[in-house]
Amino acid sequence: MSGGVDSSACACIMKDEGYECVGATMRLHSQKSASCVGDEDINDAKRICESLKIPHHVVDFSGEFDKYVISNFISAYENGATPNPCIECNFHLKFDKLFEAAEALGCDTIATGHYAIIDFDEKYGRRVLKKAKNLSKDQSYVLYRLSRNKIDRAIFPLGNIESKTKTREIVYECGLELGAKKESQDICFVPDGDYAKFIEDYTKKSYPVGNFVTKEGKILGKHKGIIRYTIGQRKGLGLALSHSMYVCGKNLEKNEVIIGENEDLFSRELWADNVNLIAVDSIDKPIKVYAKIRYNQIEKSAVAWIENGLLRVVFDEPQRAVCQGQSVVLYDGDVVIGGGIICKTELD
């Protein structure tokens, strides 16, 4: 229970279907104002649970959030990658620590306001993760690390809801009054979007300036710290260039940010570690899939297989700005086959 529309609608649906419900709100960050669930949200969640006549609990995962989400976020940027903290939060907290809390409360399953579907699929002969009917809200990408046993014990009631308008109607029909709330942000603990300043404030470290260089090694100017740049970035470089150029790579040993042309950003192959498979047990031989390399992207046709413990994906057409630290997720239609965290591309 986050105190928002989606989790409230989830609770309404579960109660209406006859489940014995317990509301749980996660406190995720010691800096309360920076968290995606602050004190105001916790109070809203408590009020909603009172209206629904279900017990409410606050579970403090702030230490785990710092350890698994923020530390990973900072480490990734320091090592030249671009992380996705929402995936880490779902994996470590919402579907690991929260399951432990649920068991302690005597609950058999967890229901959340995620827009995704868990259902039995005849082709794969098991329960699988699928895209939501509301594709504009689909969150299957950030849920691909769900383990088999979590798949069997999770429920996503909003997966079959076709619009956010319908979700709001469910809440109002349930007799709940929710104030106008903003949609969740991409990085909930960096509300102003300045992730580099967040990292510097959090670590109490300053990151040294270095050189912007071309692929050939020509120095173009000075950068303001390697954590401030991501693959594909064009704006905010502070360089006087005759035409648009982009961040194409980083040399951590030399503290250099490599600048190139748009065509330098494209690659067909990538490798991913931390592989998790849902629909299948293994991918020993190349299979045809549709894959996406970032949350807001349409899947692209590719071939994928596991080789030496790494997921290897070869796209039919080159993909732009493939970033280490982001996840590649494989689909068969609406079914999530699995995915992994990108650790290498053919450009590296």
Active-site amino acid positions: 89, 188
Between CA 45 and CA 51 the distance in angstroms is: 10
Neighbours of 296 (CB within 10 A): 7
Which residues have CB under 8 Å from 82's CB, separation 6+? 76, 230, 231, 323, 324, 325, 326
First to last CA, the chain: 42
Q: What are the residues facing 60 on neighbouring strands?
A: 27
Measured CA distances, 346 to 76, 321, 323, 336, 343 (Å)? 19, 12, 11, 25, 11
* Backbone φ, ψ for residue 272 (5° rounding): -135, 145
Between CA 243 and CA 45 the distance in angstroms is: 51
Torsion angle defined by CA atoms of residues 320, 321, 327 and 331, in that order, rounded to the nearest 10 degrees: 0
Which residues have CB under 8 Å from 58's CB, separation 6+? 24, 25, 26, 27, 42
Which residues have CB under 8 Å from 258's CB, separation 6+? 212, 213, 214, 215, 247, 248, 249, 250, 251
Between CA 190 and CA 208 the distance in angstroms is: 22
